[in-house]
Amino acid sequence: MTDYNEMKALTFDDRDEFSRKPIAEKIIKLLDSDINVSPLIIDGKWGTGKTEFCFKLKNLIESENSNEYKVGYVNAFQADHANEPLLTLIAEVAGFYGENNDKRQSFIASAIPYLRLVTGLGIKATLSFAFGRYAADIPDELADGIDEIKEGSKSLIDQSLESLIKDQVEAEKNLATLRDALTDIASTNPIILLIDELDRCRPDFAVMMLETIKHVFDVKNVQIILVTNVEQLKATIKHSYGSETNSHDYLYKFFKYQINLPTVSKDEANGNTENNITYFHSAVQVSKVIPEDFKNSSYIYDIAKFTEIKHLSLRNIEQIVRCIETLIIFEDNSKSRNPEVEQLLIVFLSFVYIANKNLFEQIRDNSIQASDILGFSSCEDINLPSDNSILEQYPTKFLILLILHNLTEDRFIRTSNYEGNMDYESSRLIELILNKFNFTHEVNFSSYHVIESSYIYKYIDHTINNLLLFDIVK
Protein backbone atom coordinates (compact mmCIF):
# COMPACT_ATOMS: atom_id res chain seq x y z
CA MET A 1 0.00 0.00 0.00
CA THR A 2 1.26 3.47 -0.89
CA ASP A 3 2.42 5.40 2.17
CA TYR A 4 1.54 8.97 1.23
CA ASN A 5 2.80 10.43 4.50
CA GLU A 6 6.22 8.90 3.89
CA MET A 7 6.30 10.09 0.28
CA LYS A 8 5.22 13.69 0.91
CA ALA A 9 8.68 14.84 1.99
CA LEU A 10 10.65 12.86 -0.59
CA THR A 11 12.97 14.70 -2.96
CA PHE A 12 15.14 13.58 -5.84
CA ASP A 13 18.12 14.10 -3.55
CA ASP A 14 16.76 11.41 -1.21
CA ARG A 15 16.66 8.84 -4.00
CA ASP A 16 16.41 8.91 -7.77
CA GLU A 17 17.12 5.36 -8.86
CA PHE A 18 15.27 5.87 -12.16
CA SER A 19 17.07 9.14 -13.02
CA ARG A 20 13.83 11.10 -13.22
CA LYS A 21 15.05 14.44 -11.88
CA PRO A 22 15.96 15.63 -15.42
CA ILE A 23 12.38 14.85 -16.49
CA ALA A 24 11.00 16.91 -13.59
CA GLU A 25 13.34 19.78 -14.46
CA LYS A 26 12.10 19.77 -18.05
CA ILE A 27 8.49 19.84 -16.83
CA ILE A 28 9.29 22.87 -14.68
CA LYS A 29 10.88 24.59 -17.69
CA LEU A 30 7.64 24.04 -19.61
CA LEU A 31 5.57 25.41 -16.72
CA ASP A 32 7.82 28.48 -16.50
CA SER A 33 7.76 29.12 -20.24
CA ASP A 34 5.34 31.14 -22.35
CA ILE A 35 4.04 27.91 -23.92
CA ASN A 36 0.51 27.12 -22.80
CA VAL A 37 1.00 23.55 -21.57
CA SER A 38 -1.90 23.25 -19.14
CA PRO A 39 -3.64 20.93 -18.62
CA LEU A 40 -0.63 18.62 -18.82
CA ILE A 41 -0.81 14.87 -18.36
CA ILE A 42 2.02 12.72 -16.99
CA ASP A 43 1.47 9.17 -18.18
CA GLY A 44 2.81 6.09 -16.43
CA LYS A 45 1.63 2.51 -16.12
CA TRP A 46 0.32 1.22 -12.83
CA GLY A 47 3.06 0.59 -10.33
CA THR A 48 5.73 2.67 -12.09
CA GLY A 49 6.20 5.12 -9.22
CA LYS A 50 3.90 7.91 -10.46
CA THR A 51 2.83 9.08 -7.02
CA GLU A 52 6.39 9.26 -5.72
CA PHE A 53 7.37 11.21 -8.83
CA CYS A 54 4.41 13.52 -8.25
CA PHE A 55 5.54 14.43 -4.72
CA LYS A 56 9.15 14.82 -5.78
CA LEU A 57 8.06 17.12 -8.61
CA LYS A 58 5.96 19.18 -6.18
CA ASN A 59 8.86 19.52 -3.76
CA LEU A 60 11.27 20.43 -6.56
CA ILE A 61 8.93 23.17 -7.83
CA GLU A 62 8.63 24.58 -4.31
CA SER A 63 12.37 24.43 -3.64
CA GLU A 64 13.21 26.35 -6.82
CA ASN A 65 10.19 28.64 -6.67
CA SER A 66 11.35 31.78 -8.48
CA ASN A 67 7.81 32.38 -9.74
CA GLU A 68 6.32 32.08 -6.22
CA TYR A 69 3.99 29.29 -7.24
CA LYS A 70 1.32 27.94 -4.94
CA VAL A 71 1.55 24.18 -5.50
CA GLY A 72 -1.28 21.87 -4.47
CA TYR A 73 -1.62 18.09 -4.46
CA VAL A 74 -4.99 16.36 -4.86
CA ASN A 75 -5.41 12.62 -4.39
CA ALA A 76 -8.45 12.07 -6.57
CA PHE A 77 -8.94 8.51 -5.34
CA GLN A 78 -9.21 9.65 -1.73
CA ALA A 79 -11.61 12.43 -2.77
CA ASP A 80 -14.02 10.49 -4.95
CA HIS A 81 -16.13 9.33 -1.98
CA ALA A 82 -17.33 12.94 -1.62
CA ASN A 83 -18.39 12.86 -5.28
CA GLU A 84 -17.75 16.58 -5.78
CA PRO A 85 -14.54 17.22 -7.75
CA LEU A 86 -15.21 20.95 -7.94
CA LEU A 87 -15.40 21.21 -4.15
CA THR A 88 -12.19 19.22 -3.84
CA LEU A 89 -10.25 21.51 -6.17
CA ILE A 90 -11.71 24.73 -4.76
CA ALA A 91 -10.82 23.55 -1.25
CA GLU A 92 -7.21 22.88 -2.29
CA VAL A 93 -6.89 26.42 -3.64
CA ALA A 94 -8.53 27.90 -0.52
CA GLY A 95 -6.09 25.95 1.60
CA PHE A 96 -3.15 27.94 0.23
CA TYR A 97 -4.11 30.84 2.49
CA GLY A 98 -4.46 31.34 6.23
CA GLU A 99 -7.71 31.70 8.13
CA ASN A 100 -7.73 35.50 8.19
CA ASN A 101 -6.53 36.05 4.65
CA ASP A 102 -8.79 38.33 2.60
CA LYS A 103 -7.96 36.50 -0.62
CA ARG A 104 -9.27 33.25 0.78
CA GLN A 105 -12.47 34.78 2.11
CA SER A 106 -13.15 36.61 -1.15
CA PHE A 107 -12.39 33.49 -3.19
CA ILE A 108 -14.74 31.28 -1.15
CA ALA A 109 -17.49 33.90 -1.35
CA SER A 110 -17.08 34.10 -5.14
CA ALA A 111 -17.13 30.31 -5.47
CA ILE A 112 -20.29 29.73 -3.46
CA PRO A 113 -22.98 30.73 -6.03
CA TYR A 114 -21.62 28.30 -8.63
CA LEU A 115 -20.90 25.61 -6.06
CA ARG A 116 -24.44 25.96 -4.84
CA LEU A 117 -25.80 25.37 -8.31
CA VAL A 118 -23.66 22.40 -9.35
CA THR A 119 -23.50 20.60 -5.99
CA GLY A 120 -26.62 21.73 -4.16
CA LEU A 121 -24.45 22.14 -1.08
CA GLY A 122 -27.16 20.30 0.78
CA ILE A 123 -24.70 17.81 2.22
CA LYS A 124 -22.97 19.23 5.23
CA ALA A 125 -20.44 16.41 5.28
CA THR A 126 -19.35 17.28 1.75
CA LEU A 127 -18.92 20.92 2.71
CA SER A 128 -16.87 19.97 5.76
CA PHE A 129 -14.72 17.68 3.65
CA ALA A 130 -14.04 20.43 1.15
CA PHE A 131 -13.33 23.32 3.50
CA GLY A 132 -12.24 21.51 6.64
CA ARG A 133 -11.09 24.00 9.25
CA TYR A 134 -12.12 26.88 7.02
CA ALA A 135 -15.78 25.97 7.37
CA ALA A 136 -16.21 28.67 10.01
CA ASP A 137 -15.61 31.30 7.33
CA ILE A 138 -18.54 30.26 5.14
CA PRO A 139 -20.81 33.29 4.59
CA ASP A 140 -23.89 33.58 6.78
CA GLU A 141 -26.37 33.16 3.94
CA LEU A 142 -24.87 29.77 3.02
CA ALA A 143 -24.76 28.69 6.66
CA ASP A 144 -28.43 29.61 6.99
CA GLY A 145 -29.17 27.50 3.95
CA ILE A 146 -27.40 24.53 5.49
CA ASP A 147 -29.46 24.87 8.68
CA GLU A 148 -32.63 24.91 6.62
CA ILE A 149 -31.59 21.78 4.79
CA LYS A 150 -30.70 20.10 8.07
CA GLU A 151 -34.16 20.90 9.40
CA GLY A 152 -35.70 19.35 6.34
CA SER A 153 -37.49 22.56 5.35
CA LYS A 154 -35.59 22.96 2.13
CA SER A 155 -33.55 20.75 -0.25
CA LEU A 156 -32.34 20.91 -3.81
CA ILE A 157 -35.05 18.46 -4.89
CA ASP A 158 -37.78 20.55 -3.18
CA GLN A 159 -36.86 23.84 -4.81
CA SER A 160 -39.59 25.31 -6.96
CA LEU A 161 -39.35 25.23 -10.72
CA GLU A 162 -39.06 29.00 -10.66
CA SER A 163 -36.02 28.81 -8.37
CA LEU A 164 -34.39 26.16 -10.55
CA ILE A 165 -34.88 28.24 -13.68
CA LYS A 166 -33.46 31.29 -11.93
CA ASP A 167 -30.39 29.33 -10.85
CA GLN A 168 -29.91 28.03 -14.38
CA VAL A 169 -30.08 31.54 -15.83
CA GLU A 170 -27.45 32.63 -13.32
CA ALA A 171 -25.18 29.65 -13.99
CA GLU A 172 -22.98 31.24 -16.63
CA LYS A 173 -22.73 34.43 -14.60
CA ASN A 174 -21.74 32.48 -11.51
CA LEU A 175 -19.19 30.42 -13.47
CA ALA A 176 -17.68 33.62 -14.87
CA THR A 177 -17.49 35.04 -11.34
CA LEU A 178 -15.70 31.91 -10.11
CA ARG A 179 -13.24 31.96 -13.01
CA ASP A 180 -12.57 35.65 -12.40
CA ALA A 181 -11.92 34.86 -8.75
CA LEU A 182 -9.48 32.09 -9.74
CA THR A 183 -7.70 34.48 -12.11
CA ASP A 184 -7.50 37.13 -9.40
CA ILE A 185 -6.19 34.82 -6.70
CA ALA A 186 -3.57 33.44 -9.13
CA SER A 187 -2.44 36.87 -10.35
CA THR A 188 -0.02 37.31 -7.44
CA ASN A 189 0.94 33.69 -6.92
CA PRO A 190 0.49 31.42 -9.96
CA ILE A 191 -1.19 28.12 -9.04
CA ILE A 192 -0.09 24.59 -9.97
CA LEU A 193 -2.45 21.75 -9.05
CA LEU A 194 -1.13 18.17 -9.29
CA ILE A 195 -4.00 15.70 -9.52
CA ASP A 196 -2.99 12.11 -8.78
CA GLU A 197 -4.65 8.67 -8.86
CA LEU A 198 -7.52 9.59 -11.20
CA ASP A 199 -7.08 6.24 -12.95
CA ARG A 200 -8.18 4.50 -9.72
CA CYS A 201 -11.41 6.50 -9.33
CA ARG A 202 -14.96 5.53 -10.18
CA PRO A 203 -15.59 6.22 -13.88
CA ASP A 204 -18.27 8.87 -13.23
CA PHE A 205 -16.07 10.77 -10.79
CA ALA A 206 -13.07 10.65 -13.15
CA VAL A 207 -15.11 12.09 -16.00
CA MET A 208 -16.58 14.79 -13.72
CA MET A 209 -13.04 15.76 -12.69
CA LEU A 210 -11.98 16.10 -16.32
CA GLU A 211 -15.03 18.23 -17.13
CA THR A 212 -14.39 20.43 -14.09
CA ILE A 213 -10.78 21.01 -15.12
CA LYS A 214 -11.88 22.00 -18.63
CA HIS A 215 -14.78 24.27 -17.76
CA VAL A 216 -13.63 25.92 -14.53
CA PHE A 217 -9.86 25.82 -14.18
CA ASP A 218 -8.77 26.77 -17.68
CA VAL A 219 -7.77 30.30 -16.62
CA LYS A 220 -4.60 32.38 -16.68
CA ASN A 221 -1.87 31.47 -14.15
CA VAL A 222 -3.61 28.25 -13.10
CA GLN A 223 -1.82 25.15 -14.39
CA ILE A 224 -3.14 21.62 -13.99
CA ILE A 225 -0.94 18.50 -14.05
CA LEU A 226 -2.74 15.17 -14.12
CA VAL A 227 -0.59 12.18 -13.10
CA THR A 228 -2.27 9.01 -14.30
CA ASN A 229 -2.30 5.83 -16.37
CA VAL A 230 -3.62 7.08 -19.69
CA GLU A 231 -4.75 3.68 -20.97
CA GLN A 232 -6.77 3.07 -17.83
CA LEU A 233 -8.28 6.55 -18.08
CA LYS A 234 -9.33 5.81 -21.66
CA ALA A 235 -11.01 2.61 -20.43
CA THR A 236 -12.80 4.71 -17.80
CA ILE A 237 -14.12 7.03 -20.50
CA LYS A 238 -15.42 4.08 -22.51
CA HIS A 239 -17.10 2.76 -19.38
CA SER A 240 -18.92 6.08 -18.93
CA TYR A 241 -19.85 6.84 -22.55
CA GLY A 242 -19.97 3.43 -24.19
CA SER A 243 -17.55 1.09 -25.93
CA GLU A 244 -18.03 2.87 -29.28
CA THR A 245 -16.67 6.13 -27.85
CA ASN A 246 -13.39 7.36 -29.29
CA SER A 247 -11.76 7.65 -25.89
CA HIS A 248 -8.47 8.92 -27.32
CA ASP A 249 -10.10 11.94 -29.02
CA TYR A 250 -12.31 12.58 -25.99
CA LEU A 251 -9.36 12.57 -23.58
CA TYR A 252 -7.05 14.72 -25.62
CA LYS A 253 -9.57 17.49 -26.11
CA PHE A 254 -8.77 18.24 -22.45
CA PHE A 255 -4.97 18.16 -22.56
CA LYS A 256 -2.35 20.16 -24.42
CA TYR A 257 0.77 18.18 -23.40
CA GLN A 258 1.67 14.66 -22.37
CA ILE A 259 4.88 13.62 -20.61
CA ASN A 260 5.66 9.89 -20.68
CA LEU A 261 7.51 8.42 -17.71
CA PRO A 262 10.08 6.00 -19.20
CA THR A 263 10.24 2.43 -17.95
CA VAL A 264 13.99 2.18 -18.51
CA SER A 265 16.95 4.10 -17.10
CA LYS A 266 20.68 4.21 -17.80
CA ASP A 267 22.96 1.83 -15.94
CA GLU A 268 26.59 2.42 -15.01
CA ALA A 269 27.72 1.33 -18.48
CA ASN A 270 25.24 3.79 -20.04
CA GLY A 271 23.06 0.94 -21.23
CA ASN A 272 19.30 0.73 -20.82
CA THR A 273 18.07 -1.07 -17.71
CA GLU A 274 14.44 -1.79 -16.93
CA ASN A 275 13.27 0.27 -13.95
CA ASN A 276 11.90 -2.81 -12.21
CA ILE A 277 15.40 -4.38 -12.29
CA THR A 278 16.87 -1.26 -10.73
CA TYR A 279 14.07 -1.18 -8.18
CA PHE A 280 14.61 -4.81 -7.20
CA HIS A 281 18.20 -4.04 -6.23
CA SER A 282 17.24 -0.97 -4.17
CA ALA A 283 14.27 -2.74 -2.50
CA VAL A 284 16.51 -5.63 -1.39
CA GLN A 285 19.14 -3.22 -0.10
CA VAL A 286 16.70 -1.28 2.12
CA SER A 287 14.99 -4.40 3.49
CA LYS A 288 15.17 -4.75 7.27
CA VAL A 289 14.62 -8.51 7.02
CA ILE A 290 17.06 -9.67 4.36
CA PRO A 291 20.46 -10.35 5.97
CA GLU A 292 23.65 -8.63 4.81
CA ASP A 293 25.27 -11.73 3.33
CA PHE A 294 22.15 -12.19 1.19
CA LYS A 295 22.19 -8.52 0.11
CA ASN A 296 25.89 -8.64 -0.71
CA SER A 297 25.54 -11.59 -3.10
CA SER A 298 25.85 -10.15 -6.59
CA TYR A 299 24.34 -13.32 -8.04
CA ILE A 300 20.84 -12.79 -6.67
CA TYR A 301 20.56 -9.53 -8.66
CA ASP A 302 21.44 -11.40 -11.86
CA ILE A 303 18.11 -13.21 -11.64
CA ALA A 304 16.18 -9.98 -12.21
CA LYS A 305 18.32 -9.32 -15.30
CA PHE A 306 17.76 -12.59 -17.14
CA THR A 307 14.17 -13.48 -16.17
CA GLU A 308 11.27 -12.28 -18.29
CA ILE A 309 9.88 -9.60 -15.96
CA LYS A 310 9.40 -6.60 -18.27
CA HIS A 311 5.66 -6.69 -17.68
CA LEU A 312 6.04 -6.50 -13.90
CA SER A 313 5.23 -3.25 -12.15
CA LEU A 314 7.21 -1.75 -9.28
CA ARG A 315 4.44 -3.00 -6.98
CA ASN A 316 5.05 -6.53 -8.31
CA ILE A 317 8.73 -6.11 -7.47
CA GLU A 318 7.72 -5.11 -3.93
CA GLN A 319 5.64 -8.30 -3.76
CA ILE A 320 8.64 -10.37 -4.85
CA VAL A 321 10.82 -8.80 -2.16
CA ARG A 322 8.13 -9.52 0.43
CA CYS A 323 8.09 -13.15 -0.73
CA ILE A 324 11.85 -13.30 -0.26
CA GLU A 325 11.58 -11.73 3.19
CA THR A 326 8.86 -14.18 4.22
CA LEU A 327 10.84 -17.19 2.99
CA ILE A 328 13.87 -15.95 4.92
CA ILE A 329 11.79 -15.73 8.10
CA PHE A 330 10.48 -19.27 7.52
CA GLU A 331 13.99 -20.71 6.98
CA ASP A 332 15.74 -22.85 9.56
CA ASN A 333 19.33 -21.72 8.98
CA SER A 334 20.71 -24.59 11.04
CA LYS A 335 19.61 -26.94 8.24
CA SER A 336 21.18 -24.94 5.44
CA ARG A 337 23.64 -26.94 3.31
CA ASN A 338 24.52 -24.44 0.60
CA PRO A 339 23.46 -20.84 1.43
CA GLU A 340 24.59 -19.37 -1.91
CA VAL A 341 22.51 -21.74 -4.05
CA GLU A 342 19.58 -21.68 -1.62
CA GLN A 343 19.52 -17.88 -1.80
CA LEU A 344 19.43 -18.06 -5.58
CA LEU A 345 16.49 -20.47 -5.50
CA ILE A 346 14.60 -18.35 -2.98
CA VAL A 347 14.91 -15.35 -5.29
CA PHE A 348 14.25 -17.25 -8.52
CA LEU A 349 11.17 -19.05 -7.20
CA SER A 350 9.82 -15.79 -5.76
CA PHE A 351 10.12 -14.21 -9.20
CA VAL A 352 8.38 -17.17 -10.82
CA TYR A 353 5.66 -17.18 -8.16
CA ILE A 354 4.70 -13.54 -8.84
CA ALA A 355 5.52 -13.34 -12.56
CA ASN A 356 4.45 -16.68 -14.03
CA LYS A 357 2.03 -18.85 -12.06
CA ASN A 358 1.84 -21.44 -14.86
CA LEU A 359 5.59 -22.07 -14.74
CA PHE A 360 5.46 -22.08 -10.93
CA GLU A 361 2.90 -24.91 -11.04
CA GLN A 362 5.08 -26.83 -13.51
CA ILE A 363 8.05 -26.62 -11.13
CA ARG A 364 5.79 -27.69 -8.26
CA ASP A 365 4.62 -30.72 -10.27
CA ASN A 366 8.16 -31.60 -11.49
CA SER A 367 7.01 -31.43 -15.11
CA ILE A 368 8.49 -28.28 -16.64
CA GLN A 369 7.96 -27.55 -20.31
CA ALA A 370 11.37 -26.64 -21.75
CA SER A 371 9.90 -23.83 -23.85
CA ASP A 372 8.38 -22.23 -20.74
CA ILE A 373 11.49 -22.26 -18.57
CA LEU A 374 13.68 -21.12 -21.47
CA GLY A 375 11.23 -18.36 -22.37
CA PHE A 376 11.11 -17.13 -18.78
CA SER A 377 14.91 -17.22 -18.68
CA SER A 378 15.24 -15.30 -21.95
CA CYS A 379 17.14 -17.96 -23.88
CA GLU A 380 16.72 -20.82 -26.35
CA ASP A 381 17.88 -24.43 -26.24
CA ILE A 382 21.43 -24.64 -24.87
CA ASN A 383 23.74 -26.52 -27.21
CA LEU A 384 27.27 -26.87 -25.93
CA PRO A 385 29.96 -26.02 -26.93
CA SER A 386 28.43 -23.66 -29.51
CA ASP A 387 26.54 -21.87 -26.68
CA ASN A 388 29.48 -21.58 -24.30
CA SER A 389 28.71 -17.87 -23.96
CA ILE A 390 26.01 -18.70 -21.40
CA LEU A 391 28.68 -20.37 -19.27
CA GLU A 392 30.99 -17.37 -19.49
CA GLN A 393 28.50 -14.51 -19.26
CA TYR A 394 25.54 -15.92 -17.31
CA PRO A 395 26.79 -18.43 -14.72
CA THR A 396 23.80 -17.81 -12.42
CA LYS A 397 21.34 -18.48 -15.22
CA PHE A 398 23.15 -21.66 -16.25
CA LEU A 399 23.26 -23.01 -12.70
CA ILE A 400 19.52 -22.55 -12.20
CA LEU A 401 18.73 -24.08 -15.59
CA LEU A 402 21.08 -26.96 -14.83
CA ILE A 403 19.22 -27.66 -11.58
CA LEU A 404 15.79 -27.44 -13.24
CA HIS A 405 16.91 -29.50 -16.24
CA ASN A 406 16.05 -32.74 -14.45
CA LEU A 407 12.46 -31.54 -13.95
CA THR A 408 11.74 -31.01 -17.63
CA GLU A 409 9.81 -33.39 -19.84
CA ASP A 410 12.02 -32.52 -22.84
CA ARG A 411 15.67 -31.85 -22.01
CA PHE A 412 17.06 -28.53 -23.24
CA ILE A 413 20.80 -28.68 -22.39
CA ARG A 414 22.51 -30.64 -25.13
CA THR A 415 26.04 -31.35 -26.35
CA SER A 416 27.08 -31.54 -29.97
CA ASN A 417 29.52 -34.37 -29.25
CA TYR A 418 27.92 -37.52 -30.71
CA GLU A 419 29.26 -39.62 -27.87
CA GLY A 420 27.43 -37.47 -25.36
CA ASN A 421 30.65 -36.31 -23.72
CA MET A 422 31.27 -32.67 -22.96
CA ASP A 423 34.15 -30.97 -24.83
CA TYR A 424 37.09 -29.76 -22.77
CA GLU A 425 36.30 -26.03 -22.82
CA SER A 426 32.66 -26.55 -21.83
CA SER A 427 33.71 -28.92 -19.05
CA ARG A 428 36.22 -26.41 -17.75
CA LEU A 429 33.66 -23.60 -17.68
CA ILE A 430 30.98 -25.73 -16.00
CA GLU A 431 33.40 -26.83 -13.32
CA LEU A 432 34.31 -23.18 -12.69
CA ILE A 433 30.62 -22.41 -12.15
CA LEU A 434 30.08 -25.40 -9.89
CA ASN A 435 33.15 -24.51 -7.81
CA LYS A 436 32.02 -20.91 -7.59
CA PHE A 437 28.74 -22.01 -6.02
CA ASN A 438 30.24 -24.92 -4.06
CA PHE A 439 27.95 -27.29 -5.95
CA THR A 440 30.34 -29.86 -7.44
CA HIS A 441 29.26 -32.67 -5.12
CA GLU A 442 25.66 -32.41 -6.43
CA VAL A 443 26.62 -33.06 -10.08
CA ASN A 444 27.44 -36.22 -12.02
CA PHE A 445 30.61 -35.30 -13.90
CA SER A 446 30.18 -37.98 -16.54
CA SER A 447 26.99 -36.34 -17.81
CA TYR A 448 27.15 -32.93 -16.08
CA HIS A 449 23.62 -33.35 -14.79
CA VAL A 450 22.55 -32.70 -11.24
CA ILE A 451 22.13 -36.06 -9.51
CA GLU A 452 18.48 -36.98 -9.06
CA SER A 453 19.00 -37.69 -5.37
CA SER A 454 20.40 -34.21 -4.75
CA TYR A 455 19.04 -32.51 -1.66
CA ILE A 456 18.39 -29.44 -3.80
CA TYR A 457 15.16 -30.91 -5.15
CA LYS A 458 13.81 -31.37 -1.64
CA TYR A 459 14.85 -27.80 -0.98
CA ILE A 460 12.89 -26.62 -4.04
CA ASP A 461 9.80 -28.51 -2.80
CA HIS A 462 10.30 -27.01 0.65
CA THR A 463 10.52 -23.46 -0.74
CA ILE A 464 7.48 -23.94 -2.98
CA ASN A 465 5.43 -25.24 -0.05
CA ASN A 466 6.42 -22.19 1.97
CA LEU A 467 5.37 -19.88 -0.88
CA LEU A 468 2.01 -21.64 -1.11
CA LEU A 469 1.35 -20.93 2.58
CA PHE A 470 0.60 -17.28 1.88
CA ASP A 471 -0.49 -14.78 -0.75
CA ILE A 472 0.94 -11.29 -1.20
CA VAL A 473 -2.26 -9.37 -1.82
CA LYS A 474 -0.92 -5.78 -1.84
- Residue pLDDT, tens place only, 84-128: 888 889 989 999 988 888 888 888 888 888 887 776 544 444 445
Residues 371 and 445 in one domain: yes
Asked whether residue 17 is assigned to any structural domain, the reply reads yes
Using CA atoms, how far apart are residues 341 and 433, in angstroms rounded to an integer? Answer: 11
**What pLDDT, on a 0 to 100 scale, did the predictor assign at position 453?**
94
- Residue pLDDT, tens place only, 47-78: 778 999 999 999 999 998 888 999 999 999 88
Given 229, 260, 291, the domain boundary residue is 260
Q: How many domains does the chain have?
A: 2
Measure the N-to-C terminal CA separation of the chain; round to a whole number of Å: 6
Given 230, 260, 290, the domain boundary residue is 260
* Domain CATH for 209: 3.40.50.300
Residues 215 and 295 in one domain: no
Query: Does pLDDT of 211 surpass 70?
Result: yes
Q: How confident is the model at residue 447 (pLDDT cuts 50, 70, 90)?
A: confident
CA distances in angstroms from 225 to 50, 61, 70, 72, listed in the order given: 12, 13, 13, 10
Residues 345 and 394 in one domain: yes
Residues 195 and 286 in one domain: no
Q: Please name the residues in contact with 3: beta carbons below 8 A apart, sequence gap of 6 or more.
A: none
Q: What is the mean pLDDT of residues 412-432?
A: 77
Residues 87 and 187 in one domain: yes
Q: What is the mean pLDDT of the chain?
A: 84
Of 40-49, 91-100, 283-292, the one with minimum mean pLDDT is: 40-49
Residues 97 and 212 in one domain: yes
Using CA atoms, how far apart are residues 206 and 197, in angstroms rounded to an integer? Answer: 10
How is 89-143 classified by DSSP, letter by letter? HHHHHHTTS-TT-HHHHHHHHHHHHHHHHHHTT--HHHHHHHHGGGGGGS-HHHH
Asked whether residue 152 is assigned to any structural domain, the reply reads no
Residues 184 and 291 in one domain: no
Residues 222 and 328 in one domain: no
Residues 86 and 214 in one domain: yes
Residues 203 and 304 in one domain: no
Residue 423: domain span = 266-469
**What pLDDT, on a 0 to 100 scale, did the predictor assign at position 375?**
93
Of 115-124, 393-402, 445-454, the one with minimum mean pLDDT is: 115-124
Residues 239 and 122 in one domain: yes
Q: How confident is the model at residue 394 (pLDDT cuts 50, 70, 90)?
A: very high
Residue 167 one-letter amino acid: D
Q: How confident is the model at residue 149 (pLDDT cuts 50, 70, 90)?
A: very low
Given 260, 281, 299, the domain boundary residue is 260
**What pLDDT, on a 0 to 100 scale, did the predictor assign at position 143?**
52
Asked whether residue 153 is assigned to any structural domain, the reply reads no
Q: What is the mean pLDDT of residues 15-21?
A: 89
**What pLDDT, on a 0 to 100 scale, did the predictor assign at position 164?**
54
Q: How confident is the model at residue 153 (pLDDT cuts 50, 70, 90)?
A: very low
- Residue pLDDT, tens place only, 293-349: 999 998 999 999 888 887 888 889 999 999 999 999 999 989 999 999 999 999 999
**What pLDDT, on a 0 to 100 scale, did the predictor assign at position 357?**
93
